[in-house]
Every structure is written in structure tokens, then in C-alpha cells.
Amino acid sequence: MSPQNGASNPNVIGESPIFTPRVINDIHAKAELGRYRMRGFSMFKPIPHWDQLMFMPGTLTRFVIEGYREKCETKTVLGARFAKRPLELDIPIYVTGMSFGALSLEAKMALAKGASMAGTATCSGEGGMIPPERDLSTKWYYQVIQSRYGFNPHHLMLADAVEFFIGQGCKVGLGGHLMGQKVTEQVAEMRSLPAGIDQRSPARHPDWLGPDDLSLKIQEIREATDYQVPIQLKLGAARVYDDVRMAAKCGPDIIYLDGAEGSTGAGPHIATEETGIPLMAAIPEARRALEDVGLADEIDLVVAGGIRNGGDVAKCLALGAKAVAMGHSMLMALNCNKEIPGVTDYEGTIGVKAGSCYHCHTGRCPVGVATQDPELRKRLVVDEAAERVYNFLHTLTLEVQMLARACGKTNIHSLEPEDLCALTTEAAAMAKVPLAGTTYVPGVTEERALSEIKSLLAKHVANEGGRDV
Amino acid sequence: MVAVTAGERGVRYDIRGLAEPDAVAPKIAKIDGDTAGFDAADLSPRQINLELRRLVYGEGIREVTIDNPGAKHSIAVGILTCCRIRINGSLGYFGCGLVDGPEIHITGRVGWSVAENMMSGVVVIDKNAGSLTGAAIRGGDLVIRGHVGARTGIDQKGGTIIVGGNAGATTGFMMQRGRQIICGDAGGGLGDSMYDGSIYVAGKVASLGVDCVEAEMTPADDELIDRKFRIYGMDRPDTFRKFTCGRKLWNYDNLEPSERKLVL
């Protein structure tokens, strides 16, 4: 009689949950390569995520709003603090900065056109401005990034908002990466680099080091742009409370927080897995910081990182974000990870199935999104892709509205932490909302109980003192 | 927290008090033909810039003199037209940043990050400059007759930086293109991680940074240095050494085992 599986084979003791076949393979690969492994995409290991939060809509204790009939406002205004022209978006979602270089020209154009159709903004990303993207964007962020690749003050004057890139959630503390395959003559020229090099962008800005210098740098950009447009600081989520307090001190109009779930076009696998904190944990900390410095009503909070659907967007808004920026999901709307019969062959060309591709860094994107290869780029038809981007943005907004109306809100920005509960204690502790079916918020409940005990004790001591014992 | 009045939007607050959303040009300049001048002693950075822009863009003035700038920050930034600006005194941080075209002469000293991201034009500083001088400049000539601090020409993408005195540590850090001509000594880590470009040093070099190597001076190099010194009326040291990129870090996935320690 032969054993059917390992469990019934008396010679097999078991297998390690720590040194899994994947871990062992990783060690083998590094022993061959002699360097860290690069990849694109989001986080691969499981972390607490938006799936662990639920909405608690109106029933009898809350009055619900009629779907399809009663208005639920989605207009979103960012940066009205000091800017003469705040950024007015029709929806609470915009397309985050992704560089020309990481993305193809066609991808940048389709995102710009789709976002404009939806009444929202796009962002230049790292590699400088490409005129077709600016032409197709009705609202456009220009990024002041560490490398300043292609940074041009004339382009700065064309911006509707300026974003200081200080870090990204996926690889907090690191600069950008663009592997040599994607550093074509055109990309290299825009960035003033030799063609074909493995480009590692600086992690620090060239002209300021700490928050005090950053205050002055913001002043410089405001002077150069005549206070016309909002200034946004993009931070990778790490020590959020202290970072946001410092960021607020620097005087921006908007603070953008990027959670660890965010994606990259190319990054060291070790950094994408091991840096940052989940967005769910970051938003309440950011709100607390803004309230503690007295600027919660003045500085707007934009968040990003691993947002997939209208539910995720609505949860971000409920926790205190004013708007949500999306990157990788927008690329999926363009066709990322989609097998197109007769056109793509993911397994044959990349070595993995569509749906499991994380090979943006190789420049061999089968759908023409994350590539500079002229033949692959032809696979992305700008107008059709723009339509899909618009459809996706529109659907996300409908989903947010649906949840907001169910929670009794006539404005999506009225969503609040009160509307949420958590499915796990971890999520409850991070998002600071109660565990479903209870009033328990880990950390907060204990803190309250402790302060109650302290005040009772103080009263008791005072009373005992009065009796002169 | 400083209250910053913002007209119809009510009172707004800024922790550092740097924001000046409602300032207007003071209109105090004395205009004489296509030249003008004003005293900046009692003006805020925003008022100085608004007055300068009014003159250059609104009044078509080609030559502006600013007296008593008081080492204020972010002065004469974002000027994107050809004109002459003379600043009688010293500037703080980010002086003359983000400019394209002007010829600017500063008679005093400057703080950090002068002329950052300059596209074209000329900025001449008669005395010393702080750190991060000429950060990420893309073109034009930046001339400092005195000494400069650390990381001069960091991320430099073009143009020429000329230093009459000594340069601090990590000069030319991650430099991409362009030239630096340093008449005095250079601090440790010269040209660290530079991608391309040339750094000429007449004095001592404390140490070279990662992947920075010495190269042969050519007649073209000497001709360039001669020409630049003639333009700015500077004394040319007799000999320069030239430093460029060793190009070992251009592609880091095909480094030889012996080269890998370069990146540690």
C-alpha cells in the first residue's frame, strides 16, 4: 500500500512554514544573482487591509438617502488654504503620479484623457512633462521629485497643483528606479542621463534636507508660481503622527499619504515588502496629528496605496481623507494583467499567467502600458483605453455614492469613522473603529477605562484626604 | 501659529508665518527708462518678488537694482525672461532659483541652494555661497567668487559652476551633466556617484567619491576654462585636474564580483 500524500507517509515529518519552497527559491536566486531582486507591483505578503472593515449603514437609527433619485455630492476641492486657484475635482479620486519612462506615452495619454473625461486630475510623475499628457489633462499636478529629472520652471507654470514627492508607500525612504531596458534615448534625454543605464533616483531632495529647509522650499515654489496653485506634500506612510505634524508645520495646502500597499513600476522586492505601514493605520494617525496642530480644517488629506474599488475609496473618506489617488488600479483599467486573445501571451513572454504579472520593471509589458518598446506600445489604443479609465473612475464614484447614501449622507465627504466597524481586532486597533458587534476599540477603550479609573482614584483620594486619615 | 489674513476667506493660520497669500506689489521702485531700482529693507520676500515681477514683466524694465535684500529667502525666483538684476547685499536660501534667462549679480553672500534648477542665464556671487549651491541646475553659468559649502552642483544636469575658492564635501554628488571648475581645494567624496559631466579642480582633492575617476585634460578642456575665466575676469590657476565618471555603476546587475563592494 503506497501513501497518497505526505501526511500519510510515515517518512515525512512535515515542512517548515518559515522556510517555504518560495523562501528557499529566493535564497537560491540571490545566491546566483549577487544582488537584491527587482520587481514591479504591490505588496506580496498579507497585511491588514480594507477588506477587514465594513460599513454600518442606516436602518432605524440612521435615515438613508434614496439611490438614483436624491443627490449625493461628489465634488472635491483640494488646497483652498493659500492657493488662489484651489484644485476643483468632480470626483474624490484622481490618477496619481507615474512617470513617463515607467509608463508608455500611450498609457500616460490614456490616463490623462480618461481622467479629464471623469472631471479629475492626473500627475506628471518623475520623468518631467510630456506635452501630449498636459494637453489631454484638464487638471494636472506637476511633481517636484528628488531627482528633478526633466524639471522645468516653464512646465511648473502650467501646473494646476504642485506635488513635492518625499516618499512613496511601497518603498518608503528610497528613490525611484528605472531599469536600463526602459531608459531609451528619449527617456534618457528628458532626464539628462546616459541612455541604457540602470537609473536609481536620489532618495533625498537636492536642495533641502529637513523640515525647516522644506518650509523655505515651499515658499520658493509659492513665490515662483505666484500663490496660484496648491502645494501638496506626498509622504510614504511610516511614523505618520510625527511626520504629518512636521509636514503641517512646513506650510503645505495638502498632505498626501501613501500606504505600504502602494505599487511601484520597479523596486527592490525587499523594500516593497518591508517598508511602511498600512494606509488603514495611517489615516487616523494623520487626522490626529492635524487636529493636534490645529490645522485639521485647513490642510486637506489625500491618501493612496492599494485602493481597488469604491468600497476602499469610501472607507478612506470615512476615516478622514478628502480625496484618494490611484495608480496601479488605473493601469489595470488600461489592461494591465489582461490576456488579450491573439495579441498577448503572458506565459510565453513573461513566464507567468495574466493576473500574476509583476514584471513592469523589465519593460516587456505585454499590453503596452509599462514599456517603451514600440511594438508593444501599439497594443494600447489611447482612445479605447481612455474610455476604460473613464468607465472605471465613474464606477468607483457610483460605488462611493452608493455606500454614502446607504449611510445617510448627501455628500460623500460626510462619511465618518462612525459609519465603520472592523472584522478583526488588528483592523479595529489600526483604523480606530469598533470591532463589529462591540464597542471595543483596542487601545482606545483601555485608555478610556484607565482615565476613568484615574479620575475615580483622584476623587477617592480627595475624599479620604477630607476625612483626615 | 501666525495668523495670515486671506481676504474673503477669513483668517488663516500658518505655523512658520511664511505664507503671504494677500501681499501686493508695493510699487516703490524708481523707474528711469528701462532701468529701475528699489530698497528692499522694509519689504517681505513676497513684496520684493512682486515688485521685481511687476518691473520685469509689467513695465518692461530690462535692468533692476535691489538694495538691502537683508538675506531674505526665495528672492528673485522663477524669473523666466532675459533681464539684468543687481542685488546689492546678501540673499538667504533659494536665491535666484528656477530662473531661465536673467543675468543676476549678487554683491554679497548667499545661503543654501542658490540658483537651483536654473535653465539658462548667469548668476554671479561676489562672496561665499552655502551648501547645495547650484542644485540640479540644467544650464547657464553660476559663478561664486568665494568659497562654497557641501554638495555643490548636486544632481547637476547641465551648465557650468565656477568656484573661485574652495568647495566642501561631496561636490558634484550624483552629477549628471555639465561642468564644475573649482580654483581652490575640494572636500572629501568629490564626484560621488556621478553619472556624467566633468569636474576640474586646481587645488587639492581630499578624496574621490564612489565611481569618480581622474581623466586626461584635453586642449578643449583648457580652452573652455580659459574662455569662462575671460568672461568673468577671474585669475586662472595654472593647472587643473579633471574628474569624470568611472561608469562602473551605470548597470548594477552586471557588476563583476570584485566591483560589487563599490555599492556597499
What is the DSSP secondary structure assignment for residue A267, as one 8-state letter? E
d(CA A363, CA A372): 7
Cross-chain CB nearest to A180 (options B19, B112, B251): B251
- Closest-CA distance of chain A to residue B112, Å: 7
Asked if A227 has any chain B CB less than 8 Å from its own CB, the reply is: yes
DSSP string for residues in B70-131 = TT-SSTT-S--S--EEEEES-B-TTTTTT-EEEEEEESS-B-TTTTTT--EEEEEESS-B-S
Q: For residue A52, what are the contacts with CB-CB under 8 A and spacing of at least 6?
A: A280, A422, A423, A424, A426, A427
Per-residue pLDDT at A68: 78
Cα B173 to Cα B151: distance, rounded to the nearest angstrom: 6
Q: How does DSSP classify residue B261? A: G
Cell representation of residue A38: 527587482
**Intervals of chain A under pLDDT 70:** 1-7, 466-469
Give backbone dihedrals phi and psi of B31, rounded to 5 degrees, phi first: -105, 135
Q: Which residues contact B182 (CB under 8 A, 6 or more apart)?
A: B163, B166, B167, B171, B199, B200, B201, B202, B203
CATH of domain A50-420: 3.20.20.70
A220 vs B contacts (CB less than 8 Å) = 73-74, 77, 93-94, 97-98
Contacts of A206 in chain B (CB under 8 A): 113, 116, 132, 135-136, 151, 154-155, 174
Domains and CATH numbers, chain B: 63-248 (2.160.20.60)
List the pLDDT tens digit at each of the 264 positions of chain B: 788 866 666 778 888 889 999 999 999 999 999 999 999 999 999 999 999 999 999 999 999 999 999 999 999 999 999 999 999 999 999 999 999 999 999 999 999 999 999 999 999 999 999 999 999 999 999 999 999 999 999 999 999 999 999 999 999 999 999 999 999 999 999 999 999 999 999 999 999 999 999 999 999 999 999 999 999 999 999 999 999 999 988 887 666 666 666 656
pTM above 0.90, yes or no: yes
Q: Which of B93, B135, B157 is nearest residue A192 as measured by Cβ atoms?
A: B157
Report CB contact under 8 Å: B100, A154: yes
Q: No. of H helices and E strands in chain A?
A: 16, 16
Q: What percent of chain A has pLDDT over 70?
A: 97
The string of DSSP codes covering A181-210 is GG--HHHHHHHT--TT--EE--SS-SS--S
- As given in the structure block, the three cell numbers for residue A99 are 512617470
The gap from C-alpha A407 to its chain's centroid, in whole angstroms, comes to: 25
CA gap B188, A358 in Å, rounded: 41
C-alpha torsion angle, residues A306, A310, A311, A313 (rounded to 10): 60
The residue written with cell numbers 527587482 in the block is A38
Residue A26's identity, in one-letter code, is: D
Instruction: Specify the pLDDT at position B264.
Output: 60
Check if A152 contacts B (Cβ < 8 Å): yes
Q: Are strands B157-163 and B177-182 parallel, antiparallel or unpaired?
A: parallel
The whole-angstrom distance between A375's CA and the closest CA on chain B is 25
Q: Judge: A153–B4 Cβ closer than 8 Å, yes or no.
A: no
Specify the residue for cell string 483652498.
A80
CB contact under 8 A, B77 and A193: no
Residue of B14, B77, B136 with shortest CB distance to A224: B77
pLDDT given for residue A248 in this prediction: 96
B contacts of A293 (beta carbons < 8 Å): 15
Query: What is the DSSP code (8-state) at residue A145?
Result: -
Neighbours of A68 (CB within 10 A): 8
Closest-CA residue of chain B to A297: B12
CA separation for the pair A71, A67 (Å, rounded): 8
CA distances from A259 to A10, A55, A167 (A): 46, 21, 10
Q: C-alpha cell of B13? A: 493660520
- Which of B53, B100, B113 is the closest to A153 by Cβ? B100
Which of B93, B154, B177 lies closest to A206 in CB terms?
B154
To the nearest whole Å, the CA of B49 is away from the closest chain A CA by 7
Q: What is the dihedral of CA A156, A162, A164, A169, to 10 degrees?
A: -130
Q: What is the DSSP string of A153-185?
A: HHHHTT-SEEEEE---GGGTT---EE-GGG--H
Q: Which of B6, B136, B174 sits opposite A151 (nearest CB)?
A: B136
**B238–chain A nearest CA distance, Å:** 32
> Following DSSP, what letter does each residue of A236-251 receive, concatenated?
ESSSHHHHHHHHHHT-
Portion 18-57 of A in contact with B at CB < 8 A: 33-35
All cell numbers assigned to A401: 455614492
Give phi and psi for A84, each to the nearest 5: -70, -30
Concatenating the DSSP letter of every residue in B162-199 gives EESS-B-TTTTTT--EEEEEESS-B-SSBTTT--S-EE
Neighbouring CB atoms inside 10 A of B86's CB total: 17
Question: Amino acid identity of A178?
Answer: L
**Quick one: which H or E segment has residue A254?**
strand A254-258
Distance from A40 to chain B by nearest Cα, in Å? 16
Report which residue type is found at A428. Answer: A
State which H helix or E strand residue A271 sits in: helix A269-274
Tens of pLDDT, residue by residue over A7-34, are 678 899 999 999 999 999 999 999 988 8
For residues A328 and A47, give the distance between their C-alpha atoms in angstroms, rounded to a whole number. Answer: 18
ipTM exceeding cut-off 0.90 for this assembly: yes
Q: Are B246 and B213 in contact (CB under 8 A)?
A: yes
Nearest CA to B132 out of A250, A220, A128 is that of A220
* B35-39 and B63-67 strand pairing: parallel
